[in-house]
Amino acid sequence: MRLLFVLVTSLSLLFNVPKKEYQKNYFENGQLESEGWIVNNKKTSYWKFYYENGQTKSAGHYKNDLKTKYWRFYSENGAKVSEGHYIEDKKCNWWLFYDDMEKINHKCQLKNNQKNGYCLMYENEKLVAAVKYSEGKKIKTWTDYRSFRKENSLKDLR
């Protein structure tokens, strides 16, 4: 009886082992389109996506087919466009958005894919305006750094 139990338990563990494989997908032109790990037919761990010209399009982590952790996005010429965190496929926390020179154009606090907190706008790496949002709705706008600092603490921006 004990031997039968061990045998059944061993077989059930053997057949329930998640199938993990490294997958590469290609465009019709033969260029790499994406690469990353698949477990039980779901994207997991680190993935990288490419444009047809071979430049990186985006890179980040998946868990159970949902974007998670830190992601970076790039333009077709390879310049960084944006970067930020995901939780269960939804943008959250601070997201950075870049101009054509890869300098921060603006950064926003997000929650569940919506602006929720501050959005800070920059020109030549200097803060020029700020907007506060709650669940995607604009609450207040500041058009200069001095008035923004007067009403807000920098600890609010963490």
Q: Which H helix or E strand runs over 84?
A: strand 80-87
- Average pLDDT of the segment spanning 5-33: 76
Q: What is the pLDDT of residues 101-123, one digit of tens each?
A: 999 999 999 999 999 999 999 99
Q: What is the pLDDT of residues 125-157, one digit of tens each?
A: 888 899 999 999 999 998 877 777 777 765 655
Residues 6+ apart with CB under 8 A from 147: none
**How does 7-32 read in b/e, with b if 16+ C-beta sit within 10 Å?**
eeeeeeeeeeeeeeeeeeeeeeeeee
- Average pLDDT of the segment spanning 93-101: 95
Residue 97 to residue 30: CA distance in whole angstroms: 31
Residue 83 to residue 91: CA distance in whole angstroms: 10
C-alpha distance from residue 122 to each of 97, 115, 138 (Å): 10, 17, 18
Question: Hey, where are the domains in the chain?
Answer: 89-158
CB 94 within 8 A of CB 82: no
- Average pLDDT of the segment spanning 7-11: 50
